[in-house]
């Protein structure tokens, strides 16, 4: 039963996305018809931003729940503002479009949702102003982005990009080459994940998720000034910790603290809550998922599936239920 809770069963994120309905140019259409020119500005220069949103299927309730939809679209609009992208939709309209897409695709499984806003003009001028903007949303069935247990990590020699170089608090498409370089290098060297340092030499976050450690039974994560993405799952974990009376700190983390931590885990929409049990070939704690990580995992995986009434406000149900007369 525990294993079932800890898995988002479904296809790998490496699976090619070939069909389904999406939002493109203001209407629902087949994904295969949602195409852009190779001269599109965002394709050439990375001038776009995106979100990653999960929806979890609860078979016993016959319901699909979108997790933290409003919060994701609020961050999406902030990313658009940083890139001078004019989004024609409000948060509420973006949530409504997402429900329509998922309903049209008739999903009965776990789903990953990708809103995307980008500079759509076919020009070669490197700029943000005076270009045509486009907003799209597509979705794909997806299981775990990384395994949720026993990850091995390495401190990357790729530095986390500074907010003065690329806006780290925005999910900018071009900025993710930083994450790709670190993640690919880690995988090539036999690790599951990369932990990146900021320009000051202190810990920033993992390649594409936030990082938590446990020291002396205190939950610790890096501040938003450490060139991290302002993670929605990160904020959710801090909320839950406060409600459960789990002591926590938001502060800088030194590299060597990673080697003496009792527990460690990734936190993100894709990663969910995934335990790290070794860093740079050094065992974290006893080499197993720690008790605090396990406690948060169990609650999180129940809550995202609509199994915890206290966290019902995290969720947007997709399918309407007929009222009983």
Mean pLDDT of 223-229: 96
pLDDT computed for residue 147 by the predictor: 86
Query: Quick one: 164 and 45 in the same domain?
Result: no
Query: Quick one: 265 and 129 in the same domain?
Result: no
Query: Quick one: 207 and 131 in the same domain?
Result: no
Longest CA pairwise span in the chain (Å): 63
User: 109: domain CATH number?
Assistant: 3.30.470.10
Query: Quick one: 23 and 129 in the same domain?
Result: yes
Mean pLDDT of 173-193: 97
Residue 3 in this model has a pLDDT that exceeds 60: no
The confidence band for 2, taking pLDDT boundaries of 50, 70 and 90, is: very low
Evaluate whether residue 79 is within a structural domain.
yes
- Cα distance between residue 91 and residue 243, in whole Å: 27
The confidence band for 105, taking pLDDT boundaries of 50, 70 and 90, is: very high
User: 253: domain CATH number?
Assistant: 3.20.10.10
- Does this model's pTM top 0.75? My answer is yes
Query: Quick one: 117 and 15 in the same domain?
Result: yes
Note whether 272 and 247 are within 8 A (CB): no
Give the catalytic positions in this structure.
171
Mean pLDDT of 56-85: 98
The confidence band for 15, taking pLDDT boundaries of 50, 70 and 90, is: confident
Which residue segment(s) compose the domain that 65 sits in? Answer: 2-141
Query: Quick one: 158 and 137 in the same domain?
Result: no
Query: Quick one: 177 and 101 in the same domain?
Result: no
123-159 pLDDT, tens digit per residue, is 999 999 999 999 999 999 988 878 889 999 999 999 9
Domain count across the chain: 2
Query: Quick one: 30 and 110 in the same domain?
Result: yes
276-297 pLDDT, tens digit per residue, is 999 999 999 999 999 999 999 9
| Closest to 19 in 3D by CA, of 135, 107, 146 | 107
pLDDT computed for residue 18 by the predictor: 80
Burial of 16 (0-12, 13-18, 19+ CB in 10 A): exposed
Note whether 261 and 253 are within 8 A (CB): no
Evaluate whether residue 193 is within a structural domain.
yes
Evaluate whether residue 224 is within a structural domain.
yes
Length of the chain measured in residues: 325
Evaluate whether residue 321 is within a structural domain.
no
Residues in contact with 186: Cβ distance below 8 Å, sequence separation at least 6, in sequence order: 153, 154, 156, 192, 193, 194, 207
Residue 216 in this model has a pLDDT that exceeds 90: yes
Q: How far is CA 218 from CA 28, 252, 261, in A?
A: 47, 14, 10
Query: Quick one: 116 and 205 in the same domain?
Result: no
For the chain, what is the mean pLDDT? 94
Evaluate whether residue 272 is within a structural domain.
yes
Query: Quick one: 33 and 58 in the same domain?
Result: yes
188-209 pLDDT, tens digit per residue, is 999 999 999 999 999 999 999 9
Residue 45 in this model has a pLDDT that exceeds 70: yes
Of residues 13 and 36, which shows the higher confidence score? 36
Query: Quick one: 191 and 64 in the same domain?
Result: no
pLDDT computed for residue 322 by the predictor: 64
Place of tokens 């939950």: 219
């Amino acid at each position: 039963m525990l294993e079932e809770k800890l898995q988002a069963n479904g296809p790998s994120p490496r699976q090619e996305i070939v069909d389904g309905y999406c939002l493109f140019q203001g209407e629902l259409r087949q994904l295969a018809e949602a195409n852009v020119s190779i001269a599109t500005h965002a394709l050439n220069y990375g001038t776009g931003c995106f979100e990653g949103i999960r929806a979890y299927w609860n078979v016993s309730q016959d319901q699909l729940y979108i997790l933290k939809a409003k919060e994701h679209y609020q961050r999406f609009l902030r990313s658009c503002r940083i890139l001078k992208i004019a989004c024609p939709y409000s948060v509420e309209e973006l949530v409504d479009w997402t429900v329509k897409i998922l309903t049209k695709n008739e999903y009965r499984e776990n789903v990953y949702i990708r809103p995307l806003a980008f500079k759509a003009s076919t020009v070669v001028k490197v700029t943000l102003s005076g270009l045509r903007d486009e907003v799209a949303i597509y979705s794909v069935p997806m299981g775990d982005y990384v395994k949720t247990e026993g990850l091995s990590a390495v401190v990357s020699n790729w530095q986390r990009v500074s907010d003065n170089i690329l806006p780290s608090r925005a999910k900018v498409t071009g900025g993710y080459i930083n994450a790709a370089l670190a993640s690919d290098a880690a995988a090539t060297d036999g690790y599951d994940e990369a932990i990146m340092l900021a320009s000051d030499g202190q810990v920033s976050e993992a390649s594409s998720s936030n990082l938590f450690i446990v020291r002396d039974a205190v939950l610790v994560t890096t501040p938003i000034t450490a060139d991290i993405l302002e993670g929605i799952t990160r904020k959710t974990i801090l909320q839950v910790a406060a409600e459960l009376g789990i002591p926590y700190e938001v502060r800088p983390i030194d590299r060597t603290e990673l080697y003496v931590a009792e527990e460690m885990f990734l936190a993100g929409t894709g990663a969910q809550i995934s335990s790290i049990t070794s860093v740079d070939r050094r065992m974290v704690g006893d080499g197993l998922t720690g008790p605090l990580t396990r406690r948060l995992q169990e609650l999180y995986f129940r809550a995202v599936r609509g199994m915890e009434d206290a966290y019902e406000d995290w969720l947007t149900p997709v399918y309407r239920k007929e009222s009983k007369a």
